[in-house]
């Protein structure tokens, strides 16, 4: 059963690193709980038929870059320049304007 759900009829095969493997029938039995865990916990679900994966359910990647990608780009740019760029005086205001533009 999925923990925290009294009515869930899903038997877990195993959960590793936030990945849940279950059968098509298990998914159909309690899809609302599965989707809630995908949405709220970032769980990735691998749906299987005859012990073979046929589908993956996961939260779509949001717009923009991940922070780790931004750091890697900044390091690559620094290596290309040969020195670490220093933000100008208006940098903080530009960042704040970007934040304010996305409610």
- Beta-carbon contacts of residue 77 (< 8 Å; ≥ 6 apart): 85
Can you give the pTM of this predicted structure? 0.49
Q: What is the pLDDT of residue 66?
A: 83
**8 φ, ψ (degrees, to nearest 5):** -70, 135
Answer whether residue 6 shows pLDDT above 50.
no
Residues 59-101 pLDDT 10s: 987 788 888 998 999 999 999 999 988 889 899 999 999 999 9
Residues 31-42 pLDDT 10s: 999 999 999 888
Confidence band for 16, pLDDT divided at 50, 70 and 90: low
- Domains of the chain, residue spans: 1-85
Q: Where are the beta strands (DSSP E) in the chain?
A: 14-16, 19-23, 44-49, 52-57
What is the average pLDDT score of the chain? 83
Q: What is the pLDDT of residue 17?
A: 63
Q: What is the pLDDT of residue 1?
A: 41
Q: What is the pLDDT of residue 87?
A: 87
């Amino acid at each position: 059963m999925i923990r925290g759900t009294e009515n869930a009829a899903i038997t877990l095969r195993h959960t590793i690193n936030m990945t849940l493997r279950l059968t098509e029938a298990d998914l159909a039995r309690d899809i609302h709980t599965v989707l809630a865990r995908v949405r709220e916990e970032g769980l990735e679900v691998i749906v299987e038929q005859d012990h073979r994966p046929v589908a993956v359910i996961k939260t779509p990647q949001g717009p923009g870059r991940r922070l780790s990608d931004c750091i890697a780009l900044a390091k690559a740019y620094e290596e290309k320049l040969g020195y670490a760029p220093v933000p100008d005086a208006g940098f903080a205001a530009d960042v704040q304007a970007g934040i304010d533009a996305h409610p």
